[in-house]
Copies of this chain bind each other. A is one copy, B any other.
Amino acid sequence: MKETVVVVYEKPEIYDPIFIEGLPGIGLVGKLAAEHLIQELNAKKFAELYSPHFMHQVLIKKDSTVDLMKNEFYYWKSPDEEHRDLIIITGDTQVPPTDSYGHFEVVGKMLDFVEQFGTREIITMGGYQVPELQGEPKVLASFTDLETKERYKQILGDMVVFREDEGGAIVGAAGLLLGIGKLRGMRGACFLGESLGYIVDAKAAKSVLTVVAKVLNLEIDMTALEERAKETEEILRKVQEMQRAMFEQQLPQPSHEEEDRGYL
C-alpha cells in the first residue's frame, strides 16, 4: 500500500452533502459525537479508508478477527427539503503526530473522495484541552471564512464561543479539513468542546453534537450520550475527590514510570 486508499462498498445517490468529521482526538469528543449521530440517524456505512501512514498494526475484535486501523464513511439521505444529505467520517485513528506529511496526504484523500459526491461544506468536531472546567463544557467555534461565520452565527447565536485566540492552533483532521478544503473552494466550521482531556469525555461530545444538531436542524435524542455523560461526571468527581484527599494529606503523587516496551 503506497498511498492512502478508500475502499468503496456502495455509491449512494446524495446531493451536495455536508461532510461531518469526528475522528479520535482529545477526550475522544469528535468520535463519540460522530458515532452517536450515526447511530441516531441510522446512517449507512459505504466506504473505508486505509493508510500506510496509520500505525503498522491490526486491531483485534471480540470475535478474534483482526483489521487494519481504518476510518469509515457513513451517509444519510435527508428525507425532505429542510435537511441536507450527510457524509459522516469516524474511525480508529488519525495519523500519528510525528508524520505531518501523512496527515496532509490522508486529509487530501478524504477530500478527493467526498468531492466526488459534490461536497462543498464541512463540519469538524473535537475536543479542546482545558486545565479545569466549571459547569457545562463550552463549544468553541471557528470557520473557513467570514461569510460562513455569519451564516452559522444566524443559526447558533451565543450557543458557541466565536474564537478570538489569534495564533491558537487546531491540530489534525479537525483543522486540516478546513485549511485544505478552503484551498479547494470548500467552506466549513470547526466545533471543539472544552475537555479535561484524559478521559472519554461524553459531556463535551454532547455539547458539540447539540450545536451540530442545531446547525443541521435535526432532533437528536441525546439519551445514550447523556448516560455516558453521567458516567463521565461520576469519574470526574471521584478523580477530583482523590486529588483533594491527596493534597490535604500531602501524600506523594503516584508516579508513572515510562514502560520500555519491547518491540514486536
* Chain A contacts to B: CB under 8 angstroms: 1-2, 7, 25-27, 50, 52-68, 95-105, 108, 126-129, 141-146, 149, 162-172, 174-176, 178-180, 182-183, 190, 197-198, 261-264
Contact = CB atoms under 8 A, between A and B. Distances in A.
A66 B166 contact: no
Contacts of A176: 56-58, 68
Nearest to A128: B264
Contacts of A52: 100-101, 103-105
A105 to B, nearest CB: 7
28 contacts: A1-B105, A7-B183, A25-B264, A27-B262, A52-B104, A52-B105, A54-B100, A55-B100, A56-B95, A56-B103, A57-B175, A57-B176, A59-B168, A59-B169, A60-B163, A60-B168, A64-B143, A64-B149, A65-B144, A65-B145, A66-B182, A66-B190, A68-B180, A68-B183, A97-B263, A126-B264, A129-B262, A172-B263
A100 B101 contact: no
A74 B154 CA distance: 36
A42 B13 CA distance: 51
Contacts of A57: 169-172, 175-176
Contact of A264 (B65, B102, B174): B174
